[in-house]
Amino acid sequence: MRNHSFFLYTALSVSLLSGSLAAREQDEYYDAHVHLTNYIQEGITARQYLEAVGDRVGRSTLFGIPLQMHWSHRVTGDVAPVYYLDADTALYYYSFTDAFIAQQYLGLSKEQQARFEPMITGFNPADMYAADHIRRVLQTFPGVFTGIGEFTIHKEFVSAKIAGDVASLTDPALDRIFEFCADSGLLAIMHNDIYMPFVKQEAKRFYFNQAKSLLARHPDATIIWAHTGLGRVVQPVENHLGMVEEILADPELSHVYFDISWSEVAKYVVATPNATRLTAQLIEKYPDRFLMGTDNVALTEPAASFAVFEQYRPLWEALSPETSRKVRKQNFADLFDAAATKVRAWEKANPAPD
């Protein structure tokens, strides 16, 4: 792990904020989407993360990045790529991330542990053995993990760079994963582009229709669709909110939720007053189905902890106080507390073989 000197002044930064933003309840939140490490498995420690966010972020998910960037000296020489867009080399699955996250969590005090929900991410969703990996991690580290993810099916730029088979929404390996989630109680955070970019309008719903079918096949698994399906290239189309509501309004998909993490998503929501208004109207209509998240990746400065939340300021102001509280805190607590109860019961009934 790199030594981030900025944490020397983290306490001062949080102290200065405490007198203004962080001291007010409406500016506090739980973060449903946090990557402790980056695409070269570097970042900060869980303890440093807590120092950075202070009391303003009461609870957070805790997961790494399941993919490792390949540094090929033939391709980039001594220039070490740190992000998936930095080089033409492939990404590969890095399963040790789960053991690393477990060790980070277990090294904390009970009070500190209560602020985290560790997630299993080091599996290949195109591998029929992925569900076995998840089970093995859960049994190896009982009392630690609450869910799986963020894991990726279709993601612009990323999916094509991953070595091996391309993940698919129709892959039986994914069904095995969600079947195990339903059995164990593990909550799942799934990244999947809501539509296929760079195609004609009539093909825009291809991924979406496949995703709906997949989600409907697993009504007993609790699933969070990350970023409402958006990305850098996968920007809101005319009916993006309509597609999201198509999920929310379907009684057979009541187990599906959305997080609004990532600065790219926030950018779209606050782009115009009308975009903010329409998003707020949808959230007000389904206040129990959205979660706040930042998608922070290996923080580089304390201020970055709160940047996405502040970016969403027009949205918080457009929501009623009760709906804002649910999106910022309550929905996280309800989902993860319920998952933890189920997972701990599963672990007790299914201990690791002697």
Q: 343 or 202, which is more confident?
A: 343
**Average of per-residue pLDDT values in the chain:** 91
Residue 74 above 50 pLDDT?
A: yes
Dump pLDDT digits (tens) for 22-65. Answer: 347 889 999 999 999 998 999 999 999 999 999 999 999 999 99
Q: What domains does the chain contain, in order, with CATH numbers? A: 35-349 (3.20.20.140)
Q: 4 or 158, which is more confident?
A: 158
pLDDT band for 237, please (50, 70, 90 cuts). Answer: confident
Residue 299 tokens read as 């923080």
Q: 342 or 201, which is more confident?
A: 342
Share of the chain above pLDDT 70, in %: 94
Burial group, residue 332, by CB count within 10 angstroms (0-12, 13-18, 19+): buried
Q: How large is the average pLDDT for residues 305-314?
A: 95
Q: Hey, which residues does 149 pair with through a beta bridge?
A: 189
- Among 107, 108, 109, 131, CA closest to 120: 131
- Alpha carbon distance 328, 243 (integer Å): 23
pLDDT band for 136, please (50, 70, 90 cuts). Answer: very high
Angle at CA of residue 53, ends 280 and 143, nearest 5°: 95
The model carries a pTM of: 0.92
Dump pLDDT digits (tens) for 95-123. Answer: 999 999 999 999 999 999 999 999 999 99
